[in-house]
Chain A
Amino acid sequence: MGEIGKKVIEKIKEEKIAPKPRWRFLMKNYFTWAMFIVSIFIGSLAFCTMLYVFFNNDWDLYKYLHTSVVGHIMLSIPYLWILFLILFLALAFYNYKHTKDGYRHETYIILLLSIAGSVILGTFLHTLGVGEKIEDFAISSVPLYEKAACCSHRKDIWDQPTIGLLGGKIIEIKDEQNFGLEDFKGTFWQVEADGETIEQEPAIIRIGKEVKVIGEEKEEGIFWAREIRPWRKGIDQ
């Protein structure tokens, strides 16, 4: 044995160096795998919320907002959830690369598998209504979420009665075609429906229900409804 070898053996004996226990390496590897799976799962939650936001967007709103279809689409893209999805895909990729055999696979294969995992699981979760629940939670618990999230659910868009867009909560029902609505600034509106009014959801006119009303301001405090939509589809307030 050479000089270096002798020094190494001496050092090991003098300093009583011992091999680290096997379970520590196993735990590290399991932890990395667990982080990979968690990242894929959170990515799928972001994807299913993205799907929910996408399918519940008012895609025809550009007609009232005097904007182009492309402009409206750009405003309606759920950037926040896309950002989350990208972030957790990157984390999934990082964790996979740090598993014991992670280096063996090409970057694009790991990325494709991570995307496929999040998309398939996310679509499944969407069918279970998970995206809807996440958005509901974000709206009620995350300050400024609505402003950052998505165009057609932004309250300021539905605070424009002069161009025919009014949103708020039903606080009084006079009859089937006449109800009182409090907008998001607290102003009271008398909303009138008629035979031509389209109701996007059955039994939409209920006390406490938040709605979007597309129509026309007839005179101060009175709004004619061409169409009544739930504030968010599928959510029963």
Chain B
Amino acid sequence: MLDKNNCDEKTDEELVALTLKNQDFFSCLVDRYEEKLLRYIMRISAVTREDAEDLLQEIFVKVYRNLNAFDQKLKFSSWIYRISHNQVISHWRKSKTRPQVLKFEADEDFLKFIATDEDLARDTERKFTGEEVRGIISQLDEKYREVIVLKFLEGKDYKEISDILEKPLGTVATLINRAKKQFKDISAGKEFNF
């Protein structure tokens, strides 16, 4: 049995290399990403917690099967988020239930974070309550919601978002700007409907 202390000081990339030699190390990666990815899946999709857990299992198995495809030029976190993103899209395609309006279950940290975001506050000339943010985000287009989640909740930078969504940096910047604009428009009351 692997001692958990063996993992703590290792980077994700080192753990990938170790897993390829000894599959027990994979549990360290699973341990590191289980909670993060479960939250991410629920933030970008409209699935129940049970469905999200099933999806997450499939994601980890897929990650393990494809470990040799991991490109060391990327951050491992970008790669595993990419697989998760693709798996969610694939799940939508299979179930044909892509949500147009999401029942957004944002956690308090996120709501607090985005509600006090200086950029958004400056653009919209006011700050938001958590409940308002929840309402606005649930009405964002899916492509905008995704970048907003990655940028503000998952704390990813432009390069990481580009690697996760497999879009050029310029497109990511445009998506974020448009997401903010849509956020602003909705908050201004055009489409505001809690």
Which of B87-95, B139-147, B164-172 contacts the other chain?
B164-172
Report yes or no: B30 in contact with A20, Cβ–Cβ below 8 A. Answer: no
Q: How far is the CA of A21 from the CA of B66 in the complex (A)?
A: 9
Is B81 part of the contact surface with A, judged by Cβ < 8 Å?
no
B96 to chain A, nearest CB (A): 25
> Contact string, A1-45, partner B, CB cutoff 8 A, digits 1/0?
111110111011100011111101100000000000000000000
Is A105 part of the contact surface with B, judged by Cβ < 8 Å?
yes
Report yes or no: B68 in contact with A4, Cβ–Cβ below 8 A. Answer: no
Report yes or no: A2 in contact with B35, Cβ–Cβ below 8 A. Answer: yes
Report yes or no: B57 in contact with A19, Cβ–Cβ below 8 A. Answer: no
Residues of B within 8 Å of A24, CB to CB, are: 68
Report yes or no: A25 in contact with B61, Cβ–Cβ below 8 A. Answer: no
Q: A7-B57, A8-B57 are in contact. Are A17 and B71 (CB under 8 A)?
A: no
Residues of A within 8 Å of B166, CB to CB, are: 103
Interface size band for A: 20 to 34
Q: A5-B27, A105-B168 are in contact. Are A17 and B68 (CB under 8 A)?
A: no
Is A175 part of the contact surface with B, judged by Cβ < 8 Å?
no
Main secondary structure of the interface of B (DSSP, over half): helix
Q: How far is the CA of A21 from the CA of B65 in the complex (A)?
A: 9
Residues of B within 8 Å of A25, CB to CB, are: 66, 68-69
Residues of B within 8 Å of A12, CB to CB, are: 23, 26, 61, 64
CB-CB nearest in chain A for B24: A9
Q: A8-B60, A8-B61, A103-B167 are in contact. Are A1 and B34 (CB under 8 A)?
A: yes
Question: In the complex, which of the residues A18, A21, A24, A104 has the most CB atoms of chain B within 10 Å of its own CB atom?
Answer: A104
Report yes or no: B56 in contact with A106, Cβ–Cβ below 8 A. Answer: no
Is A100 part of the contact surface with B, judged by Cβ < 8 Å?
yes
Report yes or no: A4 in contact with B34, Cβ–Cβ below 8 A. Answer: yes
Q: How far is the CA of A13 from the CA of B168 in the complex (A)?
A: 38
Q: 5 A-B pairs, CB-CB below 8 angstroms?
A: A1-B30, A4-B57, A5-B27, A19-B67, A103-B162
